[in-house]
């Protein structure tokens, strides 16, 4: 996985890492600190719960074998009230029962030890893609009278549907799902054009089309990096 792309995804994320093996934790924490400034460490479920309440992490990296309460028990309790925080579990188990538990608890991924940096990057990248802020409004204000309905997946102007082509809609939906950060060109190529490669010129053309159908400030150019969605407010 591309390190730049990975960094762009998790740099603004708050991570909680719960692992009772200090050697493993120190090794992976040192790696993660290169990419995010908001990393919190715990060596038990009890301490993890305390940090969870204090920092409200976006992603939890969780070992299954913890002293006292297990990682599975921790995840199960968290899921009673929190369906949004993404959870990645590290484990030595690969049996069918555990896989069913992973599905039940809506885990992003489970990592079989020993965990490599590549495995960790891929899992956390997926977790970042899955994460969405809680209590998000159904209608997103895009400025100049345009709104986006997050359930119906339609663009509206004065409550009338604006017709978009399939790729234009996918591109708009991707920007809205990642509205709080700048999206690099490489990420658009990797995430939106999954079926084929796409040049920067082709991406620019699609964004010009969106601006023509909405307004010029909908997607802002961030020089030498990529683009960012109009900074509107939820309504």
- Please report the DSSP string for 26-40 in residue order: HHHHHHHTTT-S-EE
Looking at residue 123, its pLDDT comes to 94
Helix (H, G, I), strand (E, B) or coil at 71: helix
CATH of domain 139-229: 1.10.10.10
The pLDDT of residue 88: 95
Residue with tokens 């890492």: 17
In the chain, residues under CATH classification 3.40.50.2300 are 3-130
Q: Is the pLDDT of residue 233 over 60?
A: no
Length of the chain: 235
Summarize pLDDT for 185-195 with one digit per residue, the tens: 888 887 787 66
DSSP 93-127: ---HHHHHHHHHTT-SEEEESSPPHHHHHHHHHHH
pLDDT at 157: 92
pLDDT at 136 exceeding the cut of 60: no
Give ranges for CATH 1.10.10.10 in the chain.
Answer: 139-229
For the chain, the average pLDDT equals: 86
Cα–Cα dist 84/128, whole Å: 11
- The band of 139, judged by pLDDT with boundaries at 50, 70 and 90, is confident
Pick the residue with more confidence: 47 or 3? 47
98 or 170, which is more confident: 170
Q: Within 10 Å of residue 88's Cβ, how many Cβ atoms?
A: 22
In whole angstroms, what is the distance from residue 89 CA to residue 77 CA? 15
Residue 234, pLDDT score: 39
Residue 74 has pLDDT above 80, yes or no: yes
* Architecture category of domain 3-130 in CATH: 3-Layer(aba) Sandwich (3.40)
């Amino acid at each position: 996985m591309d390190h730049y792309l990975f960094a762009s995804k998790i740099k603004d994320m708050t991570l909680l890492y719960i692992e009772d093996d200090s050697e493993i934790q120190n090794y992976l924490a040192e790696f993660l600190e290169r990419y995010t400034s908001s990393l919190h460490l715990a060596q038990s479920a009890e301490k993890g719960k305390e940090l969870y309440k204090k920092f409200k992490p976006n992603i939890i990296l969780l070992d299954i074998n913890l002293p006292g309460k297990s990682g599975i028990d921790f995840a199960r309790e968290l899921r009673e009230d929190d369906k949004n925080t993404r959870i990645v579990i590290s484990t030595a188990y690969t049996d069918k029962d555990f896989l069913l538990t992973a599905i039940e608890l809506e885990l992003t991924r489970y990592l079989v030890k020993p965990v490599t940096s590549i495995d960790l990057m891929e899992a956390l990248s997926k977790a970042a893609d899955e994460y969405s802020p809680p209590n998000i409004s159904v209608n997103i204000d895009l400025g100049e009278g345009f709104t986006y309905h997050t359930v119906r997946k339609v663009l509206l102007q004065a409550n009338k549907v604006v017709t978009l082509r399939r790729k234009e809609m996918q591109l708009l939906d991707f920007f809205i799902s990642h509205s709080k950060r700048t999206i690099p060109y490489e990420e658009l190529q990797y995430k939106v054009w999954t079926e084929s490669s796409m040049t920067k010129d082709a991406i620019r053309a699609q964004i010009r089309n969106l601006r023509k159908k909405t307004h010029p400030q909908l997607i802002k150019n961030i020089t030498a990096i990529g683009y960012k969605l109009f900074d509107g407010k939820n309504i």
